[in-house]
Amino acid sequence: MTGFRCTSMFPPVTRNAVRFLGGLVVVCVVLLTQVATRSQAKEDDSESLLPLAPNPPIVTREGLPLSAMYWPSKLKAQGSVVVLLHGLNGNQLDWGQDFPKKLQDQGHAVIAVDLRGHGQSTGKMVGMGNDAVEGKAKAKASKTKARPPKAAVEATSLKARDYPLMVTSDMKAVKNFIFLEHQKQHLNMNKMAIIGAGIGATVALHFAELDWNEPPFEDGPEGNKTPRGQDVRALVLLTPDADVAGLPLPETIKTLRVPLLQVAIMFAVGNKDKLDKGQTKKLYEQAVTPDVNKNRMYLQEYNSADRGCRLLANNLPTQQHIIKFLDTHLSKINSEWRDRESKVGKKPAK
């Protein structure tokens, strides 16, 4: 009887073939690891750009917590920053989620703020803010007994003095948060814009003036001092309110229209807005100086009766105009990131 021999359809495996297969497996593992790493990196980048509450929280110098939402810039130290200020009786939600995200997609860091007495910025004072007491004031405060928190700030009970405080206290606290993010190289504070609606536009104008009048730190010779302000480079004003108590606009407009400052301003208004009564156009005419700054001053009139944040409706080209305006007068500004902390008492870098 003849024995049955089982033969393989495959050739015998040699040592070289084993080595080749082993190397192939290693290459596949490396490639899969790289793909997984890149996928994880993309996911991490996406998560880092999600809107979040400012950390540390924004607290005014007298201790009022301000509610805000922050969209980080994907450009980090090269990214500009845009602050959104709502109108009277409004809040940060008036801007929606789509508009801030569009601004973030253009490379801007975005901060939407509830001004005092509005939205969630209506709580009681929690204590002094980070920059509230310095020097002698700090020593005096340490000897003073703790006082109970002041009454809650409500929009319905705002006093005439509260509106200037939106400039000198609320926006100062926002600027301090921007400074902290700048020092972490998460944005470039010298490329700052404010978009305001109604009283938010008025606050924006006054804060821009205040910021440009900030003297530099006395930490070097003239021309080489560290600046405290002079960072607001562009303003978008949606039907600005010219009748806010304690915040007159004529002198502020005169300051910001000076060609040396190079501040760009976009005025926006609905041409069917019966409440505006031509006020926005008058402010534009006060700001523009033909043959000097006309290339930085814009008046956008829309076929609408809407005002303030409502001018961002999808049926109007307002959002596109704002994005183009900021691209020209903010994103393209030639201003490299620099350390903005005072050099006084600071050890020189090795």
Q: Is residue 121 part of a domain?
A: yes
Percent of the chain's residues with pLDDT above 90: 70
Structural domain containing residue 231: 51-217+226-331
Q: Is residue 300 part of a domain?
A: yes
Q: Is residue 22 part of a domain?
A: no
Q: Is residue 35 part of a domain?
A: no
Helices (H), the chain: 15-48, 98-105, 135-142, 162-165, 171-183, 199-212, 250-256, 279-287, 318-326
Q: Is residue 76 part of a domain?
A: yes
Q: Is residue 25 part of a domain?
A: no
pTM for this entry? 0.81
Q: How many whole angstroms from its chain centre is CA 79?
A: 10
The structural domain count of the chain equals 1
Tens of pLDDT, residue by residue over 320-343, are 999 999 999 999 999 999 999 999
Q: Is residue 246 part of a domain?
A: yes
CATH of the domain at 296: 3.40.50.1820
Q: Is residue 303 part of a domain?
A: yes
Rg, Å, the chain Cα set: 28
Tens of pLDDT, residue by residue over 10-48, are 455 565 654 655 555 555 554 555 545 454 544 456 667
